[in-house]
Amino acid sequence: MSRVGRPAGARTGTAVAAVVLLAVLVGYPLLRLALVAADEWPGVRPAGLGEALRNTVVLAGAVTLAAVPVGVALALVLRRPDLPGRALWQAAVLLPLLVPDFVLGYSWTQAYARAGFTDTLLGVHWAGLLGPAGVWLVLVVNAAPLAYLVVAVALAARAEPDLERAARISGAGAATTAVTVTVRLALPAVAAAGVLVFVLTLGSFAIPQVLGAPAGFRTVTTQIYADLSLGGDPTSFVRAVTLAVVLVLVTAACTAPADVLLAPRLRSQRPADARPAAALPARPAVLRGQTLALGGYAGLTAGLPLAALLLASITRAVGVPPTPGNWALDHFRTVLTPRTAEALGRSLALALVAATLLVLLGGLVAVAERRRAGRTAATLTTLTLVLPGSTLAVGLLLAYGRWLSGTLTLILLAYLAKLWAVAHRPIAGALDRFPPDELRAARVSGAGALTAVRTVALPPLAPALLGAWLLCFLTALHEVTMSSLLYGPGSETLAVVVLNSQELGRIGPTAALSVVLTVLVALPAGLLWWASRRWSAPAREVPAGVG
């Protein structure tokens, strides 16, 4: 067998692994759900299905159309090393990812609805927040950081400063260059972000429920929840499962064409530049304008709502003015108990293992889909992403509950199934700029397989792998729906212990939990960032005003 032409054995191994994992994590659980729907179908079309489906698809489209451009704009602005306070902005933009969805809904009403911050201070509130427009805006704000992360890691992997310079020297303006060169090269990542945001919105539940229900705005996921909530009657359970299967079919119909037809056309053939990525400097006026816009955006979308959340965590009751006289640490006392410490350890370990495995799983699909036969793999992973947590957990119980009910292993499988696409898309968005020729060259020159991967493949992919890891880690850390349905004695996760101790929906303790998680993640991240800056400080000139 030739040592060079990528051994056929390894290829077959990758393919077999991908097929087996897809069958275990996606195929079999979905099959079990579909069988429930097919075998026990009561024969009555769920009332309001058409309206719920239309709402869901229109909402997902509208959110994608807004969130992806915002994410791209954020990525373009935040890649400038000369942007004052860049690291701070990067963190601020990602903050909403740390907050569980239903608390985010609350924090927006506290900031902008009747009797909220703006109403109290300025006498203005936004009545439309509790309705379709509010659902759309909060979902956009929630999805934009995700789109930003996917595009930013791709830009880091594929910057072409020479091409951009060439465009500018040839007379193109900054905007033209950004659109025709920078974004054009990042199109696969933009598409990946689009698919991810679209599917996540199709499956989003908490925000449509909290902000949409008061206006009678129903989506497929809120309908599924209503069916599960009401009675242990088998008909409503089968109706919920059937709706979930419909949602999966809609997702397949929307993402398969994008993955099979569109994605290969977006890929460019130029190898990535080996030099570190650096954007061209901007004029001071432009930079000032961008900083101002960024500050406004971050302030309105993250600053004010999250300030509301922080105040909720230290204010003793909902509805009393958040002034120092009303501050108390009761909610933190509820959250920080010996039982939660144990559960926190479990959640951290679970999130670490899940995120690490997910990066491997994501990479596996990204490699597999480079061949024609593997393209459907990418679509398949989105099918478990769109399933609401409750239905995915039911699918896993149906498939493996007989052996694994109540174990951490089943919760881990649920995280892997739910987040596979979230790990895969950022990696896929960066991987296509990585032609196999370079690996072959390394192997021909005598490098072993591992050395070739480590020295040739990993460095340009590192930001994407890290980004994917971070997304999965943060999501798994505060996941509540699936673990609250799957846990058993000795496998309670943090969210299960904290949120189950009272009826779900009490704001104070949940806000305190978000604050604790934020600090827990931000502290090590901040230390790492500081350490990495210290080590690399002599190499780079730090602009004044950073940090």
Partner 1 sequence: MLAACGEPTTDAGTAAQDLTLYTCLSDETVQPVIAAFEDSAPGASVDLFRAPTGELNARVAADVRSGGLRADVFWGCDPLTVQDLVDQGLVGGWTPPEADAIPAQFRTADYVGAHLLYMVAVHRTDVPAPATWADLPAAGRTVAVPDPSVAASALGALGWFAADPGYGLDFYQRLADAGAVQVRTPDEVTTGVAQGLYDLGMTTANSAYAAVDDGSPVAVAWPQPGAVAVYGPVALATASADSAVAQDFISFAVGPEGQQTIGASGSYPTRPGVTGPSVPAGAPVVHPDWTSIAADRDAVLGGYQRVFGG
Contacts of 311 (CB under 8 A, 6+ apart): 322
Residue from the set 487, 495, 514, 521 that interacts with partner 1 by CB under 8 A: 487
Element of type H or E holding 221? helix 220-229
Give which of 502, 495, 167, 470 is closest to 330, Cα–Cα: 502
Using CA atoms, how far apart are residues 255 and 250, in angstroms rounded to an integer? Answer: 9
Burial 483-522 (b: 16+ CB within 10 A, else e): bbbbbeeebbbbbbbbbeeeeeeebbbbbbbbbbbbeebe
Stretch that binds partner 1, among 85-93, 284-292, 312-320, 352-360 (CB under 8 A): 312-320
Using CA atoms, how far apart are residues 341 and 237, in angstroms rounded to an integer? Answer: 35
Residue from the set 64, 110, 221, 379 that interacts with partner 1 by CB under 8 A: 110
Q: Is there a contact between 77 and 290 (Cβ–Cβ < 8 Å)?
A: yes
Give residues 14-53 in contact with partner 1 (rule: CB under 8 A): 32, 36, 47-48
| DSSP line for 178-200 | IIIIIIHHTHHHHHHHHHHHHHH
SS3 label, residue 124? coil
Residues in the chain: 547
Whole-number minimum distance, CB 196 to partner 1, in Å?
26
Residue from the set 3, 45, 54, 114 that interacts with partner 1 by CB under 8 A: 114
What distances in angstroms separate CA 335 from CA 191, 347, 488, one per listed residue? 40, 14, 20
Q: Per-residue x/- marks for partner 1, 116-135, CB under 8 A?
A: x-------------x-----
Whole-number minimum distance, CB 212 to partner 1, in Å?
10
Using CA atoms, how far apart are residues 197 and 109, in angstroms rounded to an integer? Answer: 23
Question: Which ranges of 113-131 does DSSP label H, i.e. alpha helix?
Answer: 117-122
Stretch that binds partner 1, among 80-88, 104-112, 362-370, 523-531 (CB under 8 A): 104-112
Burial 433-467 (b: 16+ CB within 10 A, else e): bbeeebbeebbeeebeeeebeeebbeebbebbbeb
Stretch that binds partner 1, among 92-100, 151-159, 195-203, 232-240 (CB under 8 A): 232-240
Contacts of 83 (CB under 8 A, 6+ apart): 77, 89, 287, 290, 291, 294
Q: Is there a contact between 75 and 535 (Cβ–Cβ < 8 Å)?
A: no
Residue 210 is a binding residue for partner 1 (CB under 8 A): yes
Please work out, in degrees rounded to the nearest 5, the angle formed at the alpha carbon of residue 256 by the alpha carbons of 250 and 259: 140
Residue from the set 232, 284, 446, 538 that interacts with partner 1 by CB under 8 A: 232
Give residues 237-256 in contact with partner 1 (rule: CB under 8 A): 237, 240
Number of residues that bind partner 1 (CB under 8 A): 61
Residue closer to partner 1 by CB (options 366, 394) is 394
Stretch that binds partner 1, among 73-81, 226-234, 253-261, 352-360 (CB under 8 A): 226-234
Whole-number minimum distance, CB 193 to partner 1, in Å?
30
Whole-number minimum distance, CB 16 to partner 1, in Å?
27
Stretch that binds partner 1, among 153-161, 310-318, 425-433, 517-525 (CB under 8 A): 310-318
Residue closer to partner 1 by CB (options 42, 547) is 42
Residue 155 is a binding residue for partner 1 (CB under 8 A): no
Residue 218 is a binding residue for partner 1 (CB under 8 A): yes
Using CA atoms, how far apart are residues 66 and 161, in angstroms rounded to an integer? Answer: 28
Stretch that binds partner 1, among 73-81, 139-147, 316-324, 452-460 (CB under 8 A): 316-324
Element of type H or E holding 42? none
Stretch that binds partner 1, among 75-83, 113-121, 379-387, 446-454 (CB under 8 A): 113-121
Residue from the set 171, 319, 338, 446 that interacts with partner 1 by CB under 8 A: 319
Max distance between CA atoms of the chain, in angstroms, equals: 77
Whole-number minimum distance, CB 448 to partner 1, in Å?
46
Q: Is there a contact between 439 and 475 (Cβ–Cβ < 8 Å)?
A: no
Whole-number minimum distance, CB 235 to partner 1, in Å?
10
Stretch that binds partner 1, among 4-12, 195-203, 311-319, 521-529 (CB under 8 A): 311-319
Using CA atoms, how far apart are residues 68 and 61, in angstroms rounded to an integer? Answer: 11
Using CA atoms, how far apart are residues 546 and 447, in angstroms rounded to an integer? Answer: 41
Using CA atoms, how far apart are residues 498 and 543, in angstroms rounded to an integer? Answer: 43
Q: Is there a contact between 36 and 241 (Cβ–Cβ < 8 Å)?
A: yes
Contacts of 307 (CB under 8 A, 6+ apart): 111, 117
Whole-number minimum distance, CB 506 to partner 1, in Å?
7
- Report the half-sphere exposure of 137 (CA within 13 A, side-chain side): 18
Stretch that binds partner 1, among 6-14, 155-163, 399-407, 416-424 (CB under 8 A): 399-407
Residue from the set 22, 146, 485, 495 that interacts with partner 1 by CB under 8 A: 485
Residue closer to partner 1 by CB (options 225, 415) is 225
Residue from the set 7, 488, 526, 543 that interacts with partner 1 by CB under 8 A: 488
Stretch that binds partner 1, among 344-352, 392-400, 439-447, 457-465 (CB under 8 A): 392-400
Give residues 496-535 in contact with partner 1 (rule: CB under 8 A): 500-508
Using CA atoms, how far apart are residues 252 and 259, in angstroms rounded to an integer? Answer: 10
Residue 55 is a binding residue for partner 1 (CB under 8 A): no
Residue closer to partner 1 by CB (options 272, 399) is 399
Residue 108 is a binding residue for partner 1 (CB under 8 A): no
Give residues 329-348 in contact with partner 1 (rule: CB under 8 A): none
Residues that bind partner 1 (CB under 8 A): 32, 36, 47-48, 106, 109-110, 113-116, 130, 209-210, 213-214, 216, 218, 225-226, 228-234, 237, 240, 316-320, 326, 390-391, 393-394, 397-399, 401-402, 405-406, 481, 484-485, 487-489, 500-508
